[in-house]
Amino acid sequence: MWNGRAAVFAALFFAVQAGFAFAQDVTLKSRDGTISLSGTLLGFDGEFYRIETRFGELTVDGSGVSCTGVGCPSLTGYVARVTISGSATLGRVLMPALIEGFALRNGLEAMRTAGPDGDPVYALREAGGGPLVGEFTFRVTNTDTGFADLVADEADIVMALREIRADEVTAAKNAGLGDLTQPNRSRVLALDAMVPIVSSHNPVGSLSIVQLVDILSGRIDNWTALGGPDAPITVHLRDDGSGMVQGLQDRLLRPARQSLVDGAVRHDSNPDLIRAMAHDPFGLGMASYSEIGNTKPLVMTGPCGFRLRAARRSIKTEDYPLTAPMFLYVPARRLPRLAREFLAYTHSPPAQIVIRRAGFVDQSPEEIAVDLQGDRLANAVAVAEGPEGLAALQGMVKALAPLRRLTVTFRFEAGSARLDAQSRSNVLALARAMEAGLYDGRRLVFVGFSDGVGPASANLDIADRRAEAVREAVQAAAETADLDRIDIAVEAFGEALPMACDDSAWGRQVNRRVEVWVQ
């Protein structure tokens, strides 16, 4: 299979049908014969031709022209072929499950075979043994390799467990793939979490973010520092190309100006790591929430008394401190129609059911009543300082009691007024729901919170401005929504409901957020 990868007119992208000759001279003629365009055929996506002409690269709608020449593809037997590369966490289970769900939803039959490297290949045919209409090939590797394959013309879509990095953004731009940081170039497929795990025989049950950083950097190397036995800690991690490891580096170690311990035991796959952890009574590993196996996940806590465990709801609301979005990155080129339809399907309600059944956390909005948020309120009571702190907490509970919290949270990049990648995806998701009329006749309240550093009055003002900024972003994205049918308001409660201890830069960043409540 050959996939065109040069920059194209109108930023289009496509996968090419295997079997036809490429880089051949062709002539495209208008139906009435008055216009003729000759050049070298660079590709065809079932709908559009891309040719190199004396005017440069041009993309031409195939419905308005006829093609002559040895390089002309078949218009009737076109097969959409797409290669998807990257994270094994997505590629082994979740993406295949979504392909099968998409096929079933569209009256297609999906047949799974193994490629040369054992990776899954899905052939999609019309029902009843009809003709082949599409082929999805997976390269199940890691996030690093996924981005490298995209730039090297060997993949069409990237599966990633982290945001794209600056050097990858530059490489993609240089390769003519567009700016992959733009909202329409990346999408959050599902949510996962980075979970510290130990053997079921290990007596330690919890640790703080600061302790986790110290373990991963080697500053804590014995279980006695955590109330455990006098034994060295063996750190188990995936390889350096793993999105999990890179997420730990980006979100925990770099902000603390630390690096990974040199002596960590590395594993080529998540199942290998889980098997090793199950048999190492003195090991500590970092695993995906969806792949914990028979190990014991540790509860995240802190010196201020917080206790948060990885669970579907705490991950969905991003209350769990190490929630990890799972991304698909798509270059600024035209995908075949079948692939575009598949990407649209991944956001649909049926796809969210598939995501849940596959063991991952979906993004269907849920509403949570105040009485189901006992842990959060208990944490808030524990850290409230003096009569003023308790009064602020009481005022917040009184204001929010008639409302229900949506499982949507917005946070900003560190030191920036720009929303982070997950939050940018949340803006679009909430805007789509508003456009669909899901909140017509209801009240939406954007509620701002801050960390506890500095005067309470200043924190309240900052939280209010953040909530206002998110409200404006969502309303701007909801272009076709009838906003007159929705009562939209802004509230702020500053430091009244912290989600983490303020003893680290990471914890303060988590506390600076905007929630959405609905009535």
Pairwise pLDDT comparison (386 vs 277), residue with the higher score: 277
Assigned token pair, 150:
């995209």
Nearest to 281 by CA among 211, 204, 196: 204
Confidence band for 10, pLDDT divided at 50, 70 and 90:
very low
Confidence band for 486, pLDDT divided at 50, 70 and 90:
very high
Out of 218-222, 265-269, 310-314, which region has the weakest mean confidence (pLDDT)? 310-314
Dihedrals phi, psi of 66, to nearest 5 degrees? -115, 150
Interatomic CA distance for residues 516 and 383, integer angstroms: 23
- What are the distances in angstroms from CA 361 to CA 93, 324, 448? 13, 10, 24
Confidence band for 72, pLDDT divided at 50, 70 and 90:
confident
Amino acid letter at 340? R
Q: In sequence order, which residues have a C-beta less than 8 Å from that of residue 469 and are 6 or more positions away? A: 417, 514
Q: Within 10 Å of residue 129's Cβ, how many Cβ atoms?
A: 7
Nearest to 508 by CA among 255, 336, 287, 279: 255
Distance of CA 39 to the CA centre of its chain: 40
* pLDDT of the residue at 406: 92
Confidence band for 49, pLDDT divided at 50, 70 and 90:
confident
Pairwise pLDDT comparison (76 vs 272), residue with the higher score: 272
The pLDDT tens digits of the residues spanning 350-401 come to 999 999 999 899 988 888 887 666 667 766 666 666 677 677 778 888 888 8
Average pLDDT over residues 104-114: 94
pTM of the model: 0.78
Average pLDDT over residues 321-335: 89
Dihedrals phi, psi of 38, to nearest 5 degrees? -110, 150
* pLDDT of the residue at 430: 92
Average pLDDT over residues 118-134: 91
The pLDDT tens digits of the residues spanning 227-244 come to 999 999 999 999 888 888
Confidence band for 107, pLDDT divided at 50, 70 and 90:
very high
Q: Tell me the pLDDT of the chain averaged across its residues.
A: 86
Interatomic CA distance for residues 102 and 156, integer angstroms: 18
Q: Is 465 helix (H, G, I), strand (E, B) or coil?
A: helix
Interatomic CA distance for residues 371 and 138, integer angstroms: 44
Average pLDDT over residues 59-76: 84
Partnered with residue 162 across adjacent β-strands are none
The pLDDT tens digits of the residues spanning 182-238 come to 878 888 999 999 999 999 999 999 998 889 999 999 999 999 999 999 999 999 999
Question: Over 70: is that where the pLDDT of 415 sits?
Answer: no
The pLDDT tens digits of the residues spanning 404-413 come to 999 989 998 7
